[in-house]
Chains A and B, each alone.
Chain A
Amino acid sequence: MDELLQFAITGVTVGMVYSLIALGFVLIWKSSGVANLALGQLVLLSSWFTYGMLVQAGLPLWLGFPLVILFSLALGWMIERFILRPLIAQPILSLITVTLGVAYFIEGAVSFIWPKSVAALPRIFPQEVVRIGTAVVSQEYLWAAAISLVLFILLSLYFKYNKMGVVMRATADDQLAIQACGIPVTKIFSRSWMLACMLAAIGGILMSSIGGITFGLAETGLKAFSVVILGGLDSFLGAILAGPIIGLAESLGGGYLTPLTWPGIREVIPFIIIIIVMFVKPYGLFGEPRIERI
């Protein structure tokens, strides 16, 4: 019983970070119809960049973090401007594979610049463990959850009240109508990539403050795909709710199934969930089924 609470808390908190990363995916998918498969590599790159800023350059936190955010925004802008924009109106297959090319490039760049395979960020959050009931949780998890929660709220406010946010939602709804209103759609694409890269960077910092920086972070991004598949590709709410579910399944499954099956089951649970969702409810919990009429 002690274990259960422990697994549940770590699972849900990690899952909220997955949600954060997945939101970036949903954002791009909704606004521009591009499936960003480089998500994991973006997480990886920004974590290493954080390491470069905080440890290698020795910058203080108050300077390092804004630089990381700026870097991720610039990265998102560049990817959209120089790679995705020439491909507007190309078949979806090209749009998916080009992000795979980006993923490959980033993976190479990371092992080019940071050949170490493992590193740790400096301690960002306080050290003392927190006791919740019988569970002992290190504070990183709780901070990660809290920061994700704050970002969810900020994002939903942004989409509700900020003019740009409203325009982004409108683009997701009907691209043609937005163009007819005289709003440059490419600007929206660019914004959504910047925002997505920023979310990936924050997710990366949170994940690497929990588990250190490894190449496994790229797989964290892939796990975010299971979040979007379970939640539904075009649903923000779905991504937010599915994240903790995936995290919980991963943590509980890792805890209870490992003795029954082979070790490392924890790593494939999100992928098994993807397959199950594909068979049972391919458009996810909150996704809009695509109905094709002739």
Chain B
Amino acid sequence: MNVDLPAGTRNYSYAKDMAIFRTRAHWALLLSLLVFVFTAPLYWGNYWLGVANLIGITIVAATGLNILTGYCGQLSIGHAGFIAVGAYTSAVLTNRFEWPFLVGLIAAGLVAGLIGLVFGIPSMRVKGFYLAISTIAAQFIIIWVINHWTGVTGGFTGIRVPPASIGGITFVSQASQFYLIMAITALTVFFAKNLARTRVGRAFVAIRDNDLAAEVMGINLFRYKFMAFFVGCFLAGIAGSLLAHWTGFMNAENFTFMDSILYIGMIIIGGSGTAVGPIFGVISIRMLQQGVMFISPMLEGSFLDLPAGFTTGIGPMVFGLVIVLFLILEPRGLAHRWALFRTSYRLWPFSY
């Protein structure tokens, strides 16, 4: 029994069965979502557009991590490092060499992907914790290189990044960047959703679930693990490039080890190994950050005897707690809750 469909809907051809959007209601929902997102600048203020831009960029990065960790099972705790590679590639190319933004964007993805491959090589021989450690090492080595290769990256003082421009259009205001970022985010999500449904995506899942069995069935581990690393880090690089052009200024403080952990937290909370997981996870974590930012000055104002580190400390404490609680209470993340809700909604008022 297929409960993915509303009661009474049947598929009569394979193409129909495989379609992502199967009913008119699906299409209507998708269209209204797209219309809502792309008209958002008309009624959202600049501040919330900025938040939405950050969310969009983070969704791209988290989708990359989700392909690598959620689908293929290769835990990467150095994602912020790979994002940094992309950000700096794009920043250096557009600032120092004055290349166009699009070239910088693609180059950012490619360079981050290649660096990801280098640090992914150990995944051929080791897995699990060993690989996690090698990605931690990647994080620290990358940030060290960025901080000290002053001739190119500007080192600790950072580097200015010109705003993105395609053709004659320059994306300066939050609203114009919003369109650019949302377009790329939508493309990324669409790509990730479809990747998971192809031969490659199924090979990733097979490797995650049991790499030995996958290899016996003829899946080339070498090739697919490399592919996962490349795609995951490519998307990290794209996200990094967007981030660089969005903020206009880069230094390595934006890409700490703690951020890497936060990205993992996002896909855990959202539900790793699902297409909607990163979206849920990123939105919840970023909104939680907004909430913490909003609430802590208020608390500090009303309770004078709060410790001085309240504002800086409360955020990480909440996020750490949320990650731990999700792993214990709902390891399949919000995406699972969403699926449960959807199923019961579709079957309503019947119960199976």
Contacts and interface: CB of A to CB of B under 8 A. Distances in A.
B215 to A, nearest CB: 9
A115 B313 contact: yes
Nearest to B130: A282
A241 interface: no
B203 to A, nearest CB: 18
Interface stretch (B140-148, B173-181, B339-347): B140-148
A59 to B, nearest CB: 20
B265 interface: yes
A62 B312 CA distance: 33
A105 B320 contact: yes
Given A97-B268, A222-B140, A108 B320 contact: yes
A107 B320 contact: yes
A110 B122 contact: no
Tell me if B's interface is mostly helix, strand, loop or mixed.
helix
Interface string B211-235: 0100010000000000000000000
Interface string A258-291: 0000111101100110110011001100000000
B319 A278 contact: no
A163 B129 CA distance: 30
B136 A225 contact: yes
Interface string A191-214: 000000000000000000000000
B324 A222 contact: no
A254 B132 CA distance: 26
B279 interface: no
B326 to A, nearest CB: 8
Interface string B101-115: 000000000000000
Contacts of A86: 328
B261 A87 contact: no
Interface stretch (A88-96, A118-126, A131-139, A167-175): A88-96
Contacts of B158: none
A101 B129 contact: no
A259 B76 CA distance: 33
Determine which residue in A100, A115, A272 has the highest number of CB atoms from chain B within 10 A of its CB, and name it.
A100
Given A87-B327, A100-B323, A278 B140 contact: no
A158 interface: no
A272 B133 CA distance: 11
A272 B144 CA distance: 11
Nearest to A103: B261
Interface string A16-35: 00000000000001000001
Contacts, number: 161
Contacts of B144: 262, 264-265, 267-268
Interface in B312-352: 312-324, 327-328, 331
A279 B119 CA distance: 10
B323 A101 contact: yes
Contact of A111 (B149, B257, B316): B316
Interface stretch (B34-42, B46-54, B84-92, B302-310): B302-310
Nearest to B318: A108
B297 interface: no
A113 B313 CA distance: 8
B199 interface: no
B321 A105 contact: yes
Contacts of A262: 144, 148-149
A265 B141 CA distance: 9
B309 A101 contact: no
A97 B313 contact: no
Contacts of A112: 307, 309-310, 312-314, 317
Contacts of B321: 101, 105
A108 B316 contact: yes
A92 B128 contact: yes
B262 interface: yes
Given A97-B327, A271-B141, A278-B126, A108 B133 contact: no
Given A86-B328, A101-B324, A112-B307, A268 B141 contact: yes
B195 interface: no
B319 A113 contact: no
Nearest to A293: B212
B323 A96 contact: no
B275 interface: no
B77 interface: yes
A229 B264 CA distance: 22
A222 B147 CA distance: 19
21 contacts: A87-B327, A87-B328, A92-B128, A98-B323, A98-B324, A98-B327, A104-B316, A105-B321, A106-B320, A108-B318, A113-B307, A113-B309, A222-B136, A233-B129, A268-B144, A271-B141, A272-B141, A274-B134, A278-B126, A278-B133, A282-B130
Interface of B: 69, 73, 75, 77, 119, 121-122, 125-126, 128-130, 132-134, 136-138, 140-141, 144, 147-149, 212, 216, 257-258, 261-262, 264-265, 268, 272, 307-310, 312-324, 327-328, 331
Q: Which 3 A-B pairs have the closest CB atoms?
A: A112-B313, A105-B320, A108-B316
